Amino acid sequence: MANYPHPIIAREGWPFLAGATALAAVATALAGWWSAPLWLVALFVLQFFRDPPREVPAGEGLVLAPADGRVVLVGSARDEHLGRDAVKISVFMNVFNVHSNRSPVAGTVENVWYHPGLFLNADLDKASSDNERNAVHLRTGSGQDVTCVQVAGLIARRILCYVGRGDRLEAGQRYGFIRFGSRVDVYLPPGSAPRVAIGDKVSATSTVLATLPGARP
């Protein structure tokens, strides 16, 4: 599961892009410029499934953004998967953000949990507990535990996760994808220091969300 290279257009989007392009091409042959709206749809599909390479910041104990989007929550919360209090940071993705999900830290996958649920607006706080979601528990080399949760949204109907227990992830490595609008919650050990605030726009891998306890500045 190398971080890069992989296609700059996510493989999850190839069937959608092929279908949209073929439909627009047929419509062009039959109806000429009346097919323009279908080409706009194909262009939207192309931009939605883009998956550009990102620079991985260097530093000790860094927690990287697992997704592109806007920070909608920074604060204390209960990590239901590890049964502990945690620092929670949530990133909301709209349909114009890159939807490839990247590992926030380097570590080993200790567990993966899938929870069926609703499809509420992912911008709402209760989406974290009520919506369909997939959680990955990562343990870093220094023994810190981080939980990264992919949460489905109002339009998102498909959470894709490509890792299982025992897999090793590097910081910023691609591990999943959510189709058509959603959010990702990151639960960090108590004492972690957030480096973003609500409303901040972040980029997967290249934005530092927080530092883990004990990390040297």
How far apart CA 173 and CA 4 sit, in angstroms, is 8
Q: Is 182 a catalytic residue?
A: yes
CB 188 within 8 A of CB 214: no
Beta pairing partners, 73 = 90
What stretches of the chain adopt beta strand conformation (E)? 62-64, 69-79, 84-93, 100-102, 107-115, 133-139, 145-152, 158-161, 168-169, 174-179, 182-188, 193-194, 201-202, 208-211
Q: At what angle do helices 36-48 and 14-31 cross, to 10 degrees?
A: 170
Which among 35, 90, 182, 203 is annotated as catalytic?
182
Active-site annotation, residues? 182
